[in-house]
Structure formats: structure tokens, C-alpha cells
Amino acid sequence: MRRLLLCLVVVFVLVLPLWGNNYIIRLTTMMMLYSVLSLSWNFIGGFAGYPSFATASFFGLGAYSGAISQVHGVPMFLAWPVGGLVAALFAAALGLAILHLRGHYFAIATLVVAEVLREIVNSWTDLTGGGMGLNLPILRLDVNAQARLFYFSMFVLAIMTVIAASYVSKRRLGFGLRCIKQNEDAANMIGINTTVYKTTAFVLSAVFVGCAGAFYASWVNYIEPGDVFEVLLSVKPIVMVLLGSSGTVIGPVLGAVVFLFLEEMVWRNFLTFHAGVLGLLIVALVLFLPGGLLGLYFRRVFHWKESR
């Protein structure tokens, strides 16, 4: 039964390009991108309980490394893994430096890293184009074919992320991360190597996001530091996971779908007040729906007393 339903969703997504116009395709591609971001955040934020605002850093790094590779002749499909790799390496290094921080300090450190990266990219004009942005070579391909190419590529990336999340969730890594979330000191005492586990989660939260960033650069053909290092890129995945329910595998995807839908609706109807409505949504979410939508469905009671 489960497999059948999964197949149905997959088939639906695969078949969409047949009747959807380019705008719908673009929207769905965006939805899958958001899923990748929220699933990735879930590794470090949902499973391990570390409030990471580093998604923007990874996305931006992936976008720029992918873009710069492409500008220097690397073929597009290779540039994407390059983005993922760069982001992963950065996450490993950063993780070792700041994962010993807890709570607020960790959050701030990750928030600020994106700003620093943005400024570095902004200033390194020779390599990155600085404030003038970077243009990627456009594909000399028919527009419709292009839309579908990107659509299916993102689909592959999204599936990979889901599989990774599912795998981690079932295995020792997931168990260990959940222990860390509950009580890190206790986890340490029972023999879980928290540094390795946390760093792994952090790297996982970066690698797919980095690929997505490189993908994004190829997709829109032009990136600017302000766009790809934007702080909202770190906040939205968190909201999506909170919306869907953290710690599950489908939760983040659900959250991404609903979030994008809301975003589109809000954008069409509330011209000057999008951010405000998003804010309202966040407040409502935190106050009234702490377990996310799935939590609502199952009427789970989530405990607030977490170790800090």
C-alpha cells in the first residue's frame, strides 16, 4: 500500500510536464528545490536539534562555485556536484569550529557566517563579479526543453535527498542524532561520538543544498551575492519543517509544498504585504501549531522541556 502511494506521487510528478505550462513547471521545480532545502535542514535542525541558520551559506557557496565552474567551461551537470562538494567541505570545516556551541550562540554564528560569506563574495570582484553579479552561459536549447530538463534534474536531486533522509532516519546515525537532541551530555556518556555525528549531520545539511544552489545558478543564469546568501533562505526551510513537522521524513516535504503554495497565493493577492503575511504565518505556527501539520493529524504531544 505504502509503495503504491509513493509510486503514485512519483508518477504524478513525472507526468506533470505533459499538461502543465512552463510557469507551472517552474513552480513545481521550485517546490522540489524547497523540499531539498527543508529536508537538508532537518538533518541538523530536526534530528539533532541544533538551530542552524546556515542554509543560506551553503546555498550561496554552491551557487557561486557551480557558477564559477560553468563560466570556466565545466559542463553544467558536473558543476552541480562541484557546488555540493564545496558546500560539504565548508560545512565540515565550519562544523568543527562551531558545533561545540549550543543554542543561541550556534544560531548566531550560523546566521553571521552567511553575511561574512556574502561580503567576501561581494568584494572578490575578479572571481565572482562582486556587486555586479555573475552571468552564466545560457543553454542554446528550446525553452520548453530547458524547463523540462531542469524540472527532471531537480526531481532527481529531491529523490536523492529523500532517500538520504529516510536512510539516516532508520539507521544508527538517526538514532544517535535524536539522542543528542534529547540530551547531548547523556548521549556522550553512553558512548555516542557526538562530534562525529553532529558534523555528519551538518555536512549532510550542506551537500544537497550546495547542489541545489549550483542548480539554481544554472537555472536563472544570473546570480548576485545578495540573492543567494539571503537570510530568508535560511529561515524558510525552518518554517517549512515546522509547518510539516520536524523529525519525520515526509514532514519537510509536506511543509515545502504547503509553504510554496501559500507563498504563491499570498504573492498574487497581497502585493505589498507578503513578508508580513509570512510573518503572521510563522507566529501562528509557533503559537498554535507547534507540532506541525502532521503533528496536528496525529495529535501528538510534543514536549517543550528540551535540554539547552
Partner 1 sequence: MNKISSKNITILALLIFACFTVLSIGKVAESSENVIRVGAPLPLTGPLSPEGKKQVEGYDLWAETANKAGGVKVGNQRYRVEIVYHDYQSNTPRAVQLAEKLITEDKVHITFSPFGSGATKAASGVSEKYGIPTMAATASSEEVYNQGYRYLFNTFTPNQTLTEPLSDIVKERLPNAKKVAILARNDLFPLAIANVMNDSAKKRGFDVAFFEKYAIGTMDHASALTLIRAAKPDWIFATGYINDLILIRKQMGDLGISASVVTMIAGPAYKEFVDATGPLAENVTSASWWHPAVRYKGEDVFGTTENYNKMFEKKYGRVPDYAQASASAAGAIFQVAIEKAGTLDRKKIRETLAGLEVLTFWGPIKFGSTGQIISLKPPVFQIQNGTQVVIYPSEIQQAEFRVGVK
Partner 2 sequence: MLIAQIIVNGLVLGGLYACIASGFSLVWGVLNIINILHGSFIIIGSYVAYFAYNYLGIHPFLSVTIAAIVLFLFGYLIQAGIINRVVAAPVLTTLTLTFGLELLVNNSLLAAFKADYRKVILENPLGVIDMGGIIVPLDRLATMVLALILTGLLYWVLNASRIGRAIVAVRMDREAAALMGVKVKQIYAITFGLGAVMAGAAGSVMSVIFPISPLNNILFLGKAFVICVLGGLGSVPGAMIGGLALGMIESFGGLIFGPEHAMTLAFSLLILLLIFRPTGIIGKRGYQ
The entry of partner 2, partner 1, none near residue 105 (CB within 5 to 8 angstroms by kind) is partner 2
Among 120, 132, 141, 220, binds partner 2 (CB under 8 A): 120
Instruction: Return the C-alpha cell found at 250.
Output: 515526509
Q: Is position 196 an interface residue for partner 2 (rule: CB under 8 A)?
A: no
Q: Which residues contact 40 (CB under 8 A, 6 or more apart)?
A: 55, 58, 161, 204, 205, 206, 207, 208, 209, 237
Confirm if 160 and 40 have CB atoms less than 8 A apart.
no
The entry of partner 2, partner 1, none near residue 1 (CB within 5 to 8 angstroms by kind) is partner 1
When the beta carbons of 100 and 172 are compared against partner 2, the nearer one is: 100
Bridge partner list, 223: 134
Stretch binding partner 2 (CB under 8 A), from 23-31, 156-164, 253-261, 300-308 = 300-308
Tell how far CA 218 is from the center of its chain.
17
Burial class of 268 by CB neighbour count within 10 A (0 to 12, 13 to 18, 19+): exposed
- The CA distance from 200 to 190, in Å, is 19
* Helix 2-19 / helix 22-41 crossing angle, nearest 10 deg: 140
When the beta carbons of 46 and 84 are compared against partner 2, the nearer one is: 46
Enumerate residues 220-279 that contact partner 2 by CB under 8 A: 231, 235, 238-239, 242, 272-279
Confirm if 43 and 168 have CB atoms less than 8 A apart.
yes
When the beta carbons of 21 and 193 are compared against partner 1, the nearer one is: 21
**CA distances to 35, 111, 175, 212, 213 from 171, in Å:** 21, 30, 7, 25, 28
Confirm if 264 and 27 have CB atoms less than 8 A apart.
yes
- The CA distance from 81 to 254, in Å, is 26
Which 8-state DSSP code applies to residue 130?
Answer: G
Enumerate residues 13-32 that contact partner 2 by CB under 8 A: none
Residues that bind partner 1 (CB under 8 A): 1-2, 5-6, 8-9, 12, 16, 20-24, 26-27, 119, 122-123, 125, 130-133, 135, 138, 143, 146, 166, 169-170, 174, 220-222, 224, 226-227, 247-251, 253-254, 257-258, 260-261, 264-265, 268, 271-272, 274, 293-294, 297
Supply the minimum distance, in Å, between the C-beta of residue 44 and partner 1.
18
The entry of partner 1, partner 2, none near residue 196 (CB within 5 to 8 angstroms by kind) is none
When the beta carbons of 95 and 292 are compared against partner 1, the nearer one is: 292
Burial class of 175 by CB neighbour count within 10 A (0 to 12, 13 to 18, 19+): middle
Q: Is position 286 an interface residue for partner 2 (rule: CB under 8 A)?
A: yes
The entry of partner 1, partner 2, none near residue 289 (CB within 5 to 8 angstroms by kind) is none
Supply the minimum distance, in Å, between the C-beta of residue 230 and partner 2.
11
Which residues of this chain interact with partner 2, rule CB under 8 A?
A: 45, 49, 51, 97-98, 101, 103-105, 107-109, 111-113, 115-116, 119-120, 122-123, 231, 235, 238-239, 242, 272-283, 285-287, 290, 304-306, 308
